[in-house]
């Protein structure tokens, strides 16, 4: 295989993580407006999505903030991902979103276009928010049309999670710079020797397809539309479906049967593409050892990778912009907050927090090593812009890719449907 061999530390041994780390809590906070009391105390609403461990950690950081700023009280609101955005849509339409909230790149243009998001540059200019010390250019993820409408709290990148025992038994060693052909040859070797599928369903993952497109001079999105053709996508899904039929990719019906457990940790396949910081789930679910391996390439070098991130955004109509900025500043720069949050939302985005948190477990040590190696390889590019409606397109890609995998929809018909749904989403 091409490229230099991976250092052993990069293929991490994922150990000791609880599946609950990625579980989604159904608990929600109460609604209600923010305001100021007679003694000048200000109350800010802060909303996020995520599991119980995230909520426990965030509550600790809120307590720290309120100790430093006794005149600012934080009212938490939290739920799972789907319910969060359903609720937020209603709140935004009613002019009553939270003062501060967790955000992601797929929603920036959508809510910026609706005038919901504050340009935080004004608060930075006023000295209430520090926009320095963000690692590897990740601050740009929150920028749209010259405005800073999101402040990253963490960063992650796509990776290939492998069953290390399966790869070792098959005599296959992932290497930086390996090609897609070499990757699929490796999966064939695993299938031949171990009688299990090589992959759980790579072709239904929008963010992986984005990397493949970027390797080939395109991208999933431009700032206003899709950055590829129906023929491009038809080919991608046709190739994927052929690999399902040959057994190289796991049977989607079996994958469904073990859900919410991953097909990788259930032993149905030897590898799965996902975000690197999500790799903690597999050790909690499975019986093998799991590690991070490099993204396959088209030309033996470029992976198409970039750092994605979760962010904090602010409501443009908040009554307390200064306090909101102070809160965001504290949450992204305070070292103790970094030690409390760890890598729950990805590798910590600022140098203050990154240097303050030293992961003790092998899982997080491996995630840190993987991102450092990817950055050192010089392959990281800028994140692909996401137009308004990108969230709808992502959901459609996942659904239609699943239909292709199950043989319910022909690849060409699925590609046509995606373009139709995307057109409607971008116009909405």
**Local structure of residue 19 (DSSP, 8 states):** G
- 315 preceded by a cis bond (ω within 30 of 0): no
> What are the angstrom distances between the C-alpha of 133 and each of 65, 175, 354, 377, 386?
20, 32, 10, 21, 25
**How far is residue 407's CA from residue 413's CA, in Å, rounded to a whole number?**
12
Query: Could you tell me if 161 and 22 are in contact, meaning their C-beta atoms sit under 8 angstroms apart?
Result: no
**How far is residue 236's CA from residue 249's CA, in Å, rounded to a whole number?**
14
**How far is residue 100's CA from residue 119's CA, in Å, rounded to a whole number?**
13
- Nearest CA to 154 out of 138, 174, 143, 167 is that of 138
- Cite the residue boundaries of each domain of the chain with CATH code 3.40.190.10: 19-154+310-360, 158-304+384-427
**How far is residue 169's CA from residue 246's CA, in Å, rounded to a whole number?**
21
> What are the angstrom distances between the C-alpha of 222 and each of 175, 225, 309, 389, 402?
31, 5, 19, 12, 24
What fold characterizes domain 19-154+310-360?
D-Maltodextrin-Binding Protein; domain 2 (3.40.190)
Query: Could you tell me if 274 and 126 are in contact, meaning their C-beta atoms sit under 8 angstroms apart?
Result: no
> What are the angstrom distances between the C-alpha of 5 and each of 2, 10, 372, 378?
9, 10, 16, 16
Q: Does domain 158-304+384-427 have CATH number 3.40.50.460?
A: no
pTM of the model: 0.88
**How far is residue 371's CA from residue 365's CA, in Å, rounded to a whole number?**
10
For the four alpha carbons of 338, 341, 342 and 347, in that order, the dihedral sign comes to: negative
**How far is residue 38's CA from residue 354's CA, in Å, rounded to a whole number?**
39
Per-residue confidence in pLDDT tens, the chain, 428 aa: 444 444 433 444 443 333 333 333 333 333 334 566 667 899 999 999 998 999 999 999 999 999 999 999 999 999 999 999 999 999 999 999 999 999 999 999 999 999 999 999 999 999 999 999 999 999 999 999 999 999 999 999 999 999 999 999 999 999 999 999 999 999 999 999 999 999 999 999 999 999 999 999 999 999 999 999 999 999 999 999 999 999 999 999 999 999 889 999 999 999 999 999 888 788 888 889 999 999 999 999 999 999 999 999 999 999 999 999 999 999 999 999 999 999 999 999 999 999 999 999 888 899 999 999 999 999 999 988 899 999 999 999 999 999 999 999 999 999 999 999 999 999 97
For 85, how many CA atoms within 13 A lie in the half-sphere containing its CB?
Answer: 13
Query: Could you tell me if 142 and 152 are in contact, meaning their C-beta atoms sit under 8 angstroms apart?
Result: yes
């Amino acid at each position: 295989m091409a490229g230099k061999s991976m250092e052993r530390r990069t293929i991490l041994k994922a150990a000791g993580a609880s599946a609950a780390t990625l579980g989604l809590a159904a608990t929600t906070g109460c609604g209600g407006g923010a305001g100021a009391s007679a003694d000048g105390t200000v109350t800010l609403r802060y909303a996020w999505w995520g599991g119980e461990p995230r909520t426990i950690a965030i509550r600790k950081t809120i307590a720290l903030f309120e100790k430093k700023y006794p005149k600012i009280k934080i009212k938490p609101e939290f739920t799972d991902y789907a319910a969060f955005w359903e609720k937020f849509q209603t709140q935004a339409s009613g002019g009553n979103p939270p003062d501060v909230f967790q955000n992601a790149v797929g929603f920036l243009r959508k809510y910026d276009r609706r005038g919901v998001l504050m340009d935080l540059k004004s608060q930075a200019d006023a000295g209430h928010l520090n926009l320095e010390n963000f690692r590897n250019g990740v601050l740009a993820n929150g920028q749209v049309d010259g405005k800073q409408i999101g402040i990253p709290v963490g960063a992650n990148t796509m990776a290939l999670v492998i069953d290390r025992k399966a790869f070792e038994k098959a005599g296959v060693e992932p290497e930086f710079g390996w090609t897609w052909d070499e990757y699929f040859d490796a999966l064939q070797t695993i299938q031949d020797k171990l009688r299990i599928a090589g992959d759980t369903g790579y072709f239904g993952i929008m963010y992986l397809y984005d990397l493949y497109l970027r390797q080939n001079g395109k991208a999933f999105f431009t700032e206003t539309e899709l950055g590829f053709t129906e023929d491009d996508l038809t080919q991608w899904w046709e190739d994927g479906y052929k690999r399902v039929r040959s057994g190289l990719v796991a049977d989607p019906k079996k994958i469904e049967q073990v859900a919410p457990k991953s097909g990788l940790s259930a032993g149905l396949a030897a590898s799965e593409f996902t975000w690197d910081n999500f790799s903690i789930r597999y050790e909690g679910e499975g019986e093998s050892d799991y590690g991070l391996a490099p993204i396959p390439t088209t030309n033996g070098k470029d992976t198409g990778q970039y750092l994605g991130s979760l962010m904090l955004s602010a409501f443009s109509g908040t009554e307390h912009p200064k306090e909101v900025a102070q809160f965001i500043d504290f949450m992204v720069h305070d070292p103790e907050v970094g030690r409390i949050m760890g890598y729950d939302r990805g590798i910590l985005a600022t140098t203050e927090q990154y240097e303050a948190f030293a992961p003790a477990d092998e899982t997080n040590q491996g995630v840190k090593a993987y991102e450092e190696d990817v950055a050192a390889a010089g392959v990281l590019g800028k994140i692909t812009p996401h137009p308004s409606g990108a969230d709808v397109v992502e959901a459609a890609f996942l659904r239609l890719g699943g239909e292709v995998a199950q043989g319910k929809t022909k690849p060409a018909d699925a590609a046509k449907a995606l373009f139709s749904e995307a057109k409607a989403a971008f116009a909405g």
